[in-house]
Amino acid sequence: MRALVQPSFGDPSEVLSVQEVPDPEPGPGQVLVRVLLSPIHNHDLWTVRGSYGFKPEMPARAGTEAVGVVEALGDGVDGLTVGQRVTTGGSFGAWAELIVAPAAGLVPVVVQDHAGGEVLMFAWADREALDQTLASGQATFYSRSRKGIWVKGETSGHRQTVVEVRTDCDGDVLLYRVDAPGPACHQLRRSCFSNRVDRDGSVHCDRPVIG
């Protein structure tokens, strides 16, 4: 199959190239997905440049999210079928024709200030992250780039104390209502949603740095 591979860190336009690599095989609890669409996020580009917290060993693949169709099931996978369309938010190496993804998957989490109602950020959680959030009262997520549990503010000090966890009517999105006096954004702004998109398509940052 074909995949984007980088031999070293650097400008994505210079270090990424399409290469032939072996087809992956799903292990227990995993599914093989044929990728139909994979977005490009800023953290994906930072990872390619080597300027993100997660630094994969070289040579490395790239990309973390994808929409695709299940091609094969690993042992112990229930609730999914071959040919089913799925999304994955935690599969490093998603810029490829085929990827292996966890069958349990991730759920999106919207983080909201419990007092003022402002939407602060968006992230992902798996079962372990949700269990840890409920047990500790600290907003905990699954980092797609680091491929592991991430406690908000563990490094920066800008922690989020969870007042309440809610779910939507379909049970596939979580809402963390938090007490978080500091910035939620890595750019040290109160909210990650600091860019306003006008009707003409222009984008303007209208929130100040507070950290």
Domain map of the chain by residue range? Answer: 2-102, 107-197
Question: Which class in CATH covers the domain with range 2-102?
Answer: alpha beta
CATH level 3 topology of 107-197: Ubiquitin-like (UB roll) (3.10.20)
97 pLDDT tier (thresholds 50, 70, 90):
very high
pLDDT tens digit string along 76-89? 887 788 998 887 87
pTM of the model: 0.60
The mean-pLDDT minimum among 19-23, 60-64, 85-89 falls in 85-89
Q: How far apart are CA 7 and CA 1, in angstroms?
A: 18
The CA-atom distances, in angstroms, between 96 and each of 17, 56, 156 are: 11, 17, 33
pLDDT for 211 = 61
Q: What count of other Cβ atoms lies within 10 Å of the Cβ of residue 83?
A: 8
Position 50 confidence tier, pLDDT thresholds 50, 70, 90: very high
Neighbours of 143 (CB within 10 A): 18
